[in-house]
Structure 1
Amino acid sequence: MAQAASKTCEICVSAPGSHYCIDCEEYYCENCKLLHNRQKLSRNHAFQKATDLIPEGKSKCSKHKEELTLLCNTCNVPVCTSCVAGKHNKHDFSKIVDAIAQLREENETKIRAKTNDANQNLKKIEDSLKSFDNSVESVIKAINDEGNMIKRMVDKSVAEMIVLVKEQSKKEKEKLTIMLSDARSVLAAGQTLDRKRKALDKTRHDGGMVQKINTMTEEINKLKINSLLEFPNISFNRKSVAEDDIRRMIGTYTIR
């Protein structure tokens, strides 16, 4: 594995290693990089500028002073080849390079799974938001439709009530008109008798006068003043309606 401390081309070992092949984990100079990219097996390798690379120093075993090239899977610690025969005898091992590659692959798989879950959640939220907006519009339309229907019902009821008031009041007015006509007839008859009485007072007081007065008395007795019936009256009893009553008539909605 290449070390960031050595920035000499690891191919020609002469020119500065200004490029780092991420796939091969080696430093390349400009010319060697061009040759590397022309080869069929490495034409798709990714390069990174050496100046952007974070140097990695190779760790050594503190006990044996050897390079830590293995990973003890049993203890989950890096070890050197001498540790295999010593403290970590009969343990399960793997190369650090392989372990790192496996860990990277596992992390990549986990990240993909989590980003996939995040994308699915994002889509569900977006779909839910769209569906919720549609539901809100539907509820608003339903409220408007219900309100308009109630308005039409109220307008119809008001119109019908006004027609009924006019019809019933017309009948009562007709009764009053008849009573008024009768009262006028009685008044006219009374006024006629009064004129006769005054004219009779101016005539000669003799035996015929008595007969005439008796006749007038009979006419006066026949003049009947009808008792007045209870006059019709109309009033409006307002029903107290609160805003909550109107809302209950329209309906209710729920948000969960």
Structure 2
Amino acid sequence: MAKAASESCEICEGGTGHHYCQQCDQIFCDNCKTAHLRIKTTKCHTFQSVRKINPEENLFCSEHDEPFIFHCVDCDTVVCQTCVVKKHNRHDMISIKDSVLKLKEQLETCVESKSKAISNDSKQLKQGDKVYRSDAKAVIKSITEDATRMKDWIDAKAEAFIKLVKEIEAKNHKILSKAYSGKKMYL
């Protein structure tokens, strides 16, 4: 709802708002008001000066100074008894009280639906997190087991090579020892 006469335009946010659209409940500058009235669906909207806006007085039609008693479903606006006949003839009308109750029910249904969706999403996220953590643990275990197997294999290969090198060294040492002792005999 409009608040003060010195507000800026709610459309372009640049100009100073001088005009209040009663149907849109928005403040417009001169240029945006002109553009608003050129649009086919909003050309019949009514404006009043921002200086005259008072939230308590906004319950009355500014044109006929009558209280709003109906909600025009076709135009989605509140109307007084005179406006019903003059501007909203043959439009679908419901009482403001029924309109508010209907909107309240729709809002409650929407909130309940969104609340259930959020609850379900939360449960799915918790379940997904549990599965993810379980999968991560399984991957870590698999990596650890593979690493252990690879280390054992490398250790076994290293031991086999060391044993082979020692065996070759022992054989070569015997050969060299024999050759050296044979050479000593000739000296």
Name the SS of the counterpart of 1:94 in structure 2: strand
Count of residues in Structure 1 that have an aligned counterpart in Structure 2: 132
TM-score between both structures, scaled by the size of structure 1: 0.46
Alignment match, 1:80: 80
Structure 1 residue 153 and structure 2 residue 133: aligned? no
Cα shift at 1:99: 0.7
Cα shift at 1:124: 2.1
Alignment match, 2:98: 98
* Partners of 1:153 and 1:93 in 2: CA distance: 85
**How well do the aligned residues superpose, as a CA RMSD in angstroms?**
2.2
Name the SS of the counterpart of 2:122 in structure 1: helix
User: Which runs of 5 or more residues in structure 1 are unaligned?
Assistant: 1-55, 188-256
* Partners of 1:173 and 1:90 in 2: CA distance: 118
* Partners of 1:86 and 1:141 in 2: CA distance: 79
Structure 1 residue 136 and structure 2 residue 136: aligned? yes
User: Which runs of 5 or more residues in structure 2 are unaligned?
Assistant: 1-55
Cα shift at 1:179: 1.6
Name the SS of the counterpart of 1:78 in structure 2: strand
* Within-5 A mapping of 1:55-204: 59-187=59-187
Cα shift at 1:121: 1.9
Rg bigger for which structure?
A: 1
- Report if the CA contact (8 A) 1:70-1:94 is conserved: yes
* Within-5 A mapping of 1:213-228: none
Name whichever structure is richer in helix by fraction.
2
Name the SS of the counterpart of 2:78 in structure 1: strand
Counterpart amino acid of residue 137 in structure 1: K
User: Matched residues, percent identical?
Assistant: 30
Structure 1, residues 92-134: CA drift from partner, whole Å, max 9, x if none?
1011111111111111111122222222222222222222222
TM-score between both structures, scaled by the size of structure 2: 0.62
- Report if the CA contact (8 A) 1:58-1:68 is conserved: no
Counterpart amino acid of residue 67 in structure 2: E
Change (3 A) 1:178 1:58: closer
